[in-house]
C-alpha cells in the first residue's frame, strides 16, 4: 500500500513491512497446520494403542479357547479312526514285497506317534522310510496323515515339536495338513527325500519358517528345480531371526550351476550367522572366487561346516588352509568327495598339522615337519575326509578337546618323527641354535610331560627312547646333567 508520508509513493520500508506481514501470516498458518497434524497423530496413536490392546485381548482369549478345546478333547475318549489298508491294496498298485514291508512299517510309525502325542508322551515326530527312492503318495494314506496332523495340533502350548519326514513323498493335501500343524510350535524341522512336485517343497519350507519364528534348526534334502526357486528358499532362510543350524543337501542336480550362488547368499549377510552349516552335494564350483575362505578367515561363530560331495579343487583347499590361520572357532570341516588331489591335501596339512611347505631347486615340493611351524598351525579344526589314520586310535589331527592338548600332541609327534629319522638333534639345534645344551633339560622334561598328559599308547616311541637317542647323539648332554 502506498505510503501517505511520501504522497502515495511506495518506499522500501513499505515493502519490508509487507514482507514481514506475509511472513507472519505464513508462520501462523504453519503453526495451525502443525497443531492440526499433531492432533491427528495423537488420535492415530490412541487408536493404535487401542488396537494393540484388542489384539492382546484376542491372543489371551485365543489361548484360553485353545486350552478349553484341549480339555474338551481330552475328556472325549479318542480312538484312532483311520481305516486299515490291506496288503492287497499295495499288491494291486504293483508294488513288490520290500516296498509293501516299508509301507506297513510307515503306517505303524504314524499310528504309534499319533497315540503318543495324544497321550502327551511324545514331542519328537519322526516318520521315516529306509529306502533309496521315496515311498510314493497314495490317497489311502490321507486319513492316517490326518490323524497325525490333528494330534500335532492339540499339543500343549509349551510343547515344542521336533518334526522329521524322511523318504516319503508328500503331495499338496498332506503339505496343507502339516502347514497347519506346524504353526508356532516347531524349533527343529527336517524334510528329507520327500519327492515334492514342482515348487511345492520350497513353498512348504518357506511357509513353515514364516510360521515358526522360534525355529532353530532346518534341514532340507530335496531337489530344487531352478535358481529362482533356490533364491526364494535362501532369502527366506536369511530373513529368519533364529535359524542357526542349517542343512541344504543335494538340492542341485548334476549340471546345475546355482549351488555356489546359494552358498554365497548364505555367507553374504553381515547380520545373519550360522553355527552349523551342512551344504552337501550341491555341485559347488567356486571358479577361484574367495568368498568361502574369506568367510572362514573372518572367524564367524560357525563351528561345523560340511561341504562333502561338491567340486572344490586344490586352489580352494589352499585358500581354506590360509584362512584357517585366523580362525579359532571352526571345530569340524568336512571335505570328502571333492575334486582335490594330494597337492590340496598337503595345503591342509600345512594348516592343521604344522608342516612347512618346501620347494627344491628342481621344482619338487614336500612338507617339512618343523617345530616352529607347529605354533603357527590351526589347533582347533578337525578336517574330515582328508587325512587317514594318525597314531593308532587317534584318527585325526586336532582330535583332542583343547587347543593346548592338540599342540602338545603335534610337538610329541615331531619328537617321534625326527627321532625315527635320526634328525632330532639336528632339528633341535636348528630351532634353538647354540642354546640347545642349555635348554635341553627343559626339552626333556617337556617330552615327559607331553607323554604323560596325552597318555600316548605305549606301542609308539616312549619318552625313554627319545631321551636315550638324545643322550647317545649328544654326549655333552650327559656331562651337563652330571
Tell me the pLDDT tens digit for each residue of 68-108.
455 445 446 788 999 999 999 999 999 999 999 999 999 99
Average pLDDT per block of 10 residues along the chain, 482 residues long: 56 77 80 81 75 65 54 64 95 95 96 92 90 94 95 77 94 93 88 94 94 93 96 95 96 95 93 94 96 96 97 95 92 94 86 73 66 79 70 55 77 78 78 68 72 58 56 54 50
Residue 357 CA to residue 362 CA, distance in Å, equals 15
Q: How far is CA 73 from CA 64, 129, 146, 184, in A?
A: 14, 31, 16, 20
Q: Which of 303, 231, 230, 302 is nearest to 273 (CA)?
A: 302
Residue 185 CA to residue 212 CA, distance in Å, equals 7
Q: Which of 322, 417, 340 is nearest to 378 (CA)?
A: 322
3-state helix, strand, coil split of the chain in percent (to 5) is 55, 10, 35
pLDDT of residue 390: 38
Residue 236: other Cβ atoms inside 10 A: 18
Question: What is the SS3 assignment for 386?
Answer: coil
User: How many CA atoms does the CB half-sphere of 367 hold within 13 Å?
Assistant: 20
383 within 8 A of 348, measured Cβ to Cβ: yes
Question: In the numeric block, which cell numbers belong to residue 298?
Answer: 573372518
Residue 347 CA to residue 334 CA, distance in Å, equals 15
Give residue-wise pLDDT tens across range 346-403. Answer: 888 888 877 776 666 666 565 676 777 777 788 888 888 876 533 333 446 777 777 7
Length of the chain equals 482
What pTM value is reported for the model?
Answer: 0.75
Q: What is the CATH number of domain 223-399?
A: 3.80.10.10
pLDDT of residue 391: 36
Question: In the numeric block, which cell numbers belong to residue 396?
Answer: 585325526
Residue 414: Cβ-neighbour burial (10 angstroms; 0-12, 13-18, 19+): buried
Residue 475 CA to residue 481 CA, distance in Å, equals 10
pLDDT of residue 168: 96
pLDDT of residue 431: 72
Q: How far is CA 354 from CA 164, 299, 375, in A?
A: 42, 20, 7
Amino acid at each position: 500500500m502506498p505510503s501517505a508520508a511520501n504522497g502515495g509513493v511506495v518506499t522500501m520500508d513499505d515493502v519490508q513491512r509487507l514482507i514481514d506481514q506475509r511472513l507472519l501470516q505464513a508462520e501462523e498458518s504453519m503453526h495451525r497446520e502443525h497443531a492440526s497434524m499433531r492432533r491427528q497423530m495423537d488420535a492415530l496413536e490412541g487408536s493404535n494403542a487401542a488396537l494393540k490392546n484388542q489384539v492382546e485381548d484376542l491372543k489371551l482369549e485365543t489361548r484360553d479357547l485353545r486350552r478349553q478345546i484341549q480339555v474338551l478333547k481330552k475328556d472325549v475318549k479318542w480312538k484312532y479312526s483311520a481305516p486299515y489298508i490291506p496288503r492287497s491294496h499295495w499288491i494291486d498298485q504293483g508294488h513288490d514285497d520290500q516296498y509293501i514291508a516299508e509301507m506297513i512299517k510307515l503306517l505303524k510309525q504314524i499310528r504309534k506317534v499319533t497315540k503318543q502325542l495324544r497321550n502327551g508322551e511324545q514331542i519328537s515326530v519322526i516318520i521315516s522310510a529306509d529306502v533309496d527312492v521315496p515311498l510314493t503318495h497314495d490317497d489311502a494314506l490321507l486319513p492316517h496323515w490326518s490323524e497325525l496332523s490333528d494330534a500335532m495340533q492339540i499339543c500343549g502350548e509349551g510343547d515344542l515339536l521336533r518334526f522329521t519326514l524322511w523318504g516319503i513323498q508328500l503331495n499338496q493335501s498332506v503339505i496343507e495338513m502339516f502347514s497347519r500343524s506346524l504353526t508356532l510350535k516347531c524349533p527343529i524341522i527336517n524334510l528329507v527325500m520327500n519327492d515334492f512336485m514342482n515348487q511345492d517343497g520350497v513353498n512348504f519350507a518357506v511357509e513353515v519358517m514364516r510360521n515358526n519364528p522360534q525355529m532353530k534348526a532346518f534341514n532340507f534334502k530335496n531337489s530344487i528345480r531352478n535358481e529362482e526357486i533356490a533364491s526364494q528358499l535362501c532369502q527366506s532362510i536369511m530373513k529368519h531371526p533364529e535359524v542357526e543350524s542349517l542343512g541344504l543337501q543335494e538340492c542341485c542336480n548334476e549340471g546345475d550351476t546355482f549351488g555356489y550362488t546359494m552358498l554365497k547368499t548364505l555367507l553374504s549377510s553381515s547380520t545373519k550367522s550360522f553355527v552349523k552349516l551342512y551344504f552337501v552335494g550341491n555341485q559347488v564350483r567356486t571358479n577361484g572366487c574367495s568368498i568361502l575362505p574369506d568367510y572362514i578367515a573372518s572367524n564367524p561363530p560357525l563351528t561345523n561346516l560340511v561341504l562333502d560331495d561338491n567340486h572344490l579343487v586344490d586352489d580352494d583347499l589352499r585358500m581354506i588352509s590360509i584362512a584357517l590361520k585366523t580362525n579359532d572357532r571352526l571345530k569340524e570341516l568336512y571335505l570328502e568327495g571333492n575334486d582335490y588331489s594330494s597337492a590340496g591335501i598337503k595345503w591342509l596339512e600345512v594348516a592343521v598339522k604344522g608342516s612347512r611347505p618346501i620347494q627344491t631347486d628342481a621344482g619338487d615340493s614336500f612338507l617339512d615337519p618343523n617345530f616352529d611351524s607347529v605354533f603357527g598351525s590351526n589347533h582347533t579344526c578337525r578336517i574330515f575326509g582328508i587325512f587317514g589314520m594318525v597314531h593308532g586310535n587317534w584318527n585325526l589331527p586336532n582330535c583332542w578337546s583343547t587347543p593346548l592338548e592338540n599342540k602338545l600332541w603335534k610337538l610329541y609327534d615331531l619328537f617321534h618323527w625326527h627321532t625315527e629319522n635320526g634328525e632330532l638333534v639336528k632339528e633341535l639345534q636348528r630351532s634353538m641354535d647354540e642354546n640347545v645344551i642349555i635348554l635341553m633339560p627343559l626339552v626333556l622334561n617337556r617330552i615327559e610331560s607331553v607323554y604323560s598328559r596325552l597318555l600316548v599308547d605305549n606301542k609308539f616311541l616312549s619318552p625313554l627312547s627319545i631321551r636315550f637317542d638324545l643322550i647317545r647323539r649328544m654326549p655333552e648332554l650327559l656331562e651337563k646333567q652330571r
